[in-house]
Structures are given as structure tokens and as C-alpha cells.
Structure 1
């Protein structure tokens, strides 16, 4: 299927590794000019150099003024942004009973505020052209909160609620807004988590991976390329009637409708 993305521009946050990089790769394969981002300018430019039609920008998105700085730098390089992919790490683990007001503020500052600021910057041009795609790389915690990740659960659910509300407001302008929720995907981050679990339990990492895969109906971890393909489709012209949704890419792992 030809996705109708050739000639478009995309800003993909946190896209030098993992799911962000997989999404960037899928988009450039469709002829999209992609802005690769990282806190490290050198790393962003290094990764961008490996992709056709890509440029790299180093910005700390959660720093004061980070969203404005990123938007300005991106549009200076590629012009108006047609596709915005929101992505980034979450707060530290912790239980709900341990949650503090400072922790909640940090979760919002990390997972909601800069994302909302970027959205507000890209919307005017999307409205003017009558076309736009906003996609959040979220977490299955949006539909099934994950134990010991109280702050991440809170922040990601808040962002999802904001984006769902936004979707109803901009749909008639040709702008779609969706969230793509990964399950267990074979990324470097997932590998580090499994390594830490294996070390804590005193077992081989293969045992941890086998146990995790056994909880997934597909009986395996997803590949980053599979996630990237799903992301590219939701950003495409072919997904023009899909908006306000949370789509799981989890091999059937989450036991909810």
C-alpha cells in the first residue's frame, strides 16, 4: 500500500534509538523528510546521517523553552511540520502511596507540558494546509496501569486525555490525533530492563526473556520495525478517518478490550 506521505515533513521526538528511531526509519522509507531529535546534537546528526532525507537537532525538550527551541530549529531546516510524533522517557518508578506533589509536577513537566507546547506550535500550519498528523508514542499503561509506575501512569494518561480532547476539536480541519501504545518490543531499553531483572533474580537473561514472551499471546517480543510500520500507517494519508484512538501494538499482551 502506498501511504501518500512522499514529500511530507515529520518531527519525531527522541528518535535516535528504540521506537522513535523505528518510526523515523519507517517514515523516511515513505519519502518523508524527517527531523531526528535527541538531547545530544552530535547523536542526532550522527543518526540522521544514516537516513535518507533526514536532519538532526539536539534539544532538551523538557528544559525551559525546549519545545519552542525545537520547533524553531526544525522549521528553520525543513519548513512547516506535517507530522508530529511525540515520544520520550517517563519518570522514575514508584508506587502510588509513595507519590509526592513534587513527583506529580515532574511527571506533568516531562510527559505533558512540552508535548502540549509542541502541538500548539504545529497546529496553525496544519490548519492552514488542511492536513496534519499528530501521533503519541505512549504506553499500554494508558489502558492498563503498570504496577510500580505510578507517575508514568499518571502522566501518560493525562497526555492521552488531552490528545483525545484535541482530536475532536481538529478533526474537521483534516488533522488526526492518535496514540500508539507499545507492548514488549525488542529495543535496547527493553534489553536493559531484562538484564537488570536477570541480575536481580540471579538467572540468565534468556530465562527472563522467555518468561516475558510467555505472557504474550504472540509468544514473542515485537520487532521495532513492526512498531514503526504501524506508526507510519497512522501518520499516513490512508489513515485519514482514524482519529482520537489509542492503538495497541503489543502482540495481544494487554487483556482488555
Structure 2
């Protein structure tokens, strides 16, 4: 970390996981810029920027504003993803819906392309992609979302291989079901049955929280030796991957 604290960019900062990551990185001394569609101020951030990651010109403008104020990004945490459809079987998945999910992978690549050159110049950097356990544990109706998250994870592991020589690490955090204590998720219908089934598979008494996911992110940010790894934050639910 630099004397003033590294510059961290958290995309998807207004979601439960993104908010926890912002707070956790700020507590570790990072100067955190929160990126979201709304530009909402998030506790712990030094600046909040609005940006549609699917718009290259909007991303370029947001990054230019960030760099002018704080300098190059040393830490990128991407917790952003398009709204997911968890109810459609793969055989009935509309191509447009699938393309919408895969747009999250394109956005992740665009973020990496924008921040990695600065990391190379610094001689250090951290990239953490927030995926999901469904990329390795199939769930009915989640095929499009899972395929996109799996693609983002693969992209991140390739980045780790390609950029390690520049002192850049790239890792994946893959949460299972996450319960936000501030806004508990109380599913109904098929989602409730799925939640019960996942609960029976846990090794721990309860599902992880957003703070648990943020703790895994901070572990990866702190370590210069961990790269190309996936940490499954699932409460001990068995993952065959």
C-alpha cells in the first residue's frame, strides 16, 4: 500500500456485497471510489461515480474523472452484474436475455482493459471478480447467469497468468446464497424451496453475509502470493470444482 493508501475501484458498489467491500477496503486504508449506475454515495468511499458499464464512452469518462482526482487504480473489485433472470430453463432462454447476462463479461473485460495499464506502470495491482457458486453448482433456471459468471471467472484466471509478471494478481470470489442482515432475503415460492435445499447442504449454521464475502476480497487484496484462485464463500456447501 502507498503512504496515502491505494486507490480502489469497486464496481457494483451499491449492492449488499459492493457496500460491504467498500467499507472493508476503506477500513484497511484504501481510498475507495464507488462505481454504480446510480452514482449513490456509499459509506466509506471517497467518491461516488455513476456509470453504465455497457457504455464504453461512459466508462471512459468515469475513469478519466477518477484518475484526475486520485491517480491510477491499484485495486479493482468488480461486484457488478446485469439484472439476472433465475426462472427460465436453458432450453427456453431467449437469446436477448442471454446476451444481456453475457454483457457482464464484456463489462468486466472493459474494466480490466481500463485499469491494468496503470497497474503495470505502478508495478503492482489487485483484481478481484465477484462470481457466484452457481457457476459450478447448477441451479434450475439460473443457466444464463451461471454461464456469464463462469465466463468472467475464466477471464480473470487468464488475466492472472498474463499479468503476474507485472506484479498484478487476479482472483475470483464465488459466493453462494448470501443473507444481508440489513435487508434479510425472505424468498417465496420456488425460491423458498431452493433456499431450504441449499440450507441443508451447509456445513455452517447459516448462510454467509455480505461482510463475509468482503473479508474474502480483503484477503485476496492483501496477499501478493495468491493469484488465479477462486474462494468459495458458501458456508461450507460442497462445491465440485
Fold shared by both chains (TM-score > 0.5): yes
Question: Is the 1:10–1:82 contact (alpha carbons within 8 Å) kept by the matching residues of 2?
Answer: yes
Whether 1:75 and 2:67 are equivalent positions in the alignment is yes
Q: Distance in 2 between matches of 1:190 and 1:160?
A: 28
Distance in 1 (alpha carbons) for counterparts of 2:152 and 2:18: 18
| SS of structure 1 residue aligned to 2:53 | coil
- Secondary structure of the 1:85 match is strand
Give runs of aligned pairs for residues 12-161 of structure 1, distance below 5 A.
12-41=10-39, 44-45=40-41, 47=42, 50-51=43-44, 54-90=46-82, 91-93=84-86, 94-109=88-103, 111-161=104-154
For structure 1, list consecutive stretches of 5 or more residues without a partner in the other structure: none
Counting matched residue pairs gives 238
- Maintained 8 Å contact 2:201/2:238: no
1:238-249 to 2 correspondences below 5 Å: 239-249=223-233
TM-score, reference length from structure 1: 0.83
For structure 2, the residue ranges without an aligned partner over 5 or more in a row are none
Q: Counterpart in 1 of 2:155?
A: 162
Give me the whole-angstrom Cα distance separating, in 2, the residues matched to 1:113 and 1:185: 25
